[in-house]
Amino acid sequence: MAILPILCYPDPQLHTVAKPVAGVDERVRQLVADMLDTMYDAHGIGLAATQINVHERVLVIDTSEERNQPQVLINPELVWASPDTVVGDEGCLSVPGIYDGVARSVAVRVRALDANGVSREIEAEGLLAVCIQHEMDHLLGKVFVEYLSPLKRNRIKSKMVKRQREARE
């Protein structure tokens, strides 16, 4: 059980494209366990390995009310996304305290390996679909603020840099 540090925007490491996991072994299972501990400790509903400066295609999600239904997606691939979209306020553990509207597909189907290395497909809609899309963006080196206007993005960047500077003082 380890709580890992989460990178904060605009850290350039957040823009690293994650590499596929070659095989699910004990090291990957430990990474998943540490990511779940980190996500729950930060009160998040999703976490991509990129956010903890591990550039492998691993993400964890738990959108359940009780916070007891973790989902693990290793090497996730988007199989299908609905053409219908919805704009909802998104937040991110790498951009704490910032929420803004992002358009996402209403439903998705994703193929991924679970923590045991078993391939499965997940059909998701609503919050889970949004969360999957958000976390998969991290694996591509994309943070949700990149969907916002340049003006909003620059304001958020300035705010985050100021917070980080104040935290070091």
Give the annotated binding-site residues: 92, 134, 138
In a domain? residue 69: yes
In a domain? residue 6: no
In a domain? residue 26: yes
In a domain? residue 132: yes
Distance between CA atoms of residues 91 and 12, nearest Å: 19
Domain containing residue 130: CATH number? 3.90.45.10
Q: Tell me how far CA of residue 118 lies from CA of 18, 34, 111, in angstroms.
A: 20, 20, 10
In a domain? residue 5: no
Q: In the annotation, is 26 catalytic? A: no
Across residues 101-114, what is the average pLDDT? 98
* pLDDT-based confidence at residue 144 (cuts at 50, 70, 90): very high
Range of the domain at 20: 12-167
**Taking 80 as the threshold, does the pLDDT of residue 1 lie above it?**
no
- Burial bucket for residue 159 (CB in 10 Å: 0-12, 13-18, 19+): middle
Q: What is the dihedral of CA 80, 130, 150, 97, to 10 degrees?
A: -160
Across residues 137-163, what is the average pLDDT? 97
Give the annotated binding-site residues for Fe cation: 92, 134, 138
In a domain? residue 3: no
Distance between CA atoms of residues 30 and 40, nearest Å: 15
Q: Using one digit for the tens of pLDDT, what is the confidence trace for 39-98?
A: 999 999 999 999 999 999 999 999 999 999 999 999 999 999 999 999 999 999 999 999
In a domain? residue 4: no
- Domain total for the chain? 1
Dump strand ranges (E) for 33-162. 46-48, 58-61, 71-81, 85-92, 95-105, 107-113, 119-125
The pLDDT score that the predictor gives to residue 122 is 97
In a domain? residue 120: yes
Q: What is the chain's mean pLDDT, rounded?
A: 97
Across residues 12-35, what is the average pLDDT? 97
Across residues 119-133, what is the average pLDDT? 97
Across residues 146-159, what is the average pLDDT? 97
Catalytic residue among 90, 121, 125, 135: 135
CA 136 to chain CA centroid, Å, is 6
The pLDDT score that the predictor gives to residue 74 is 98
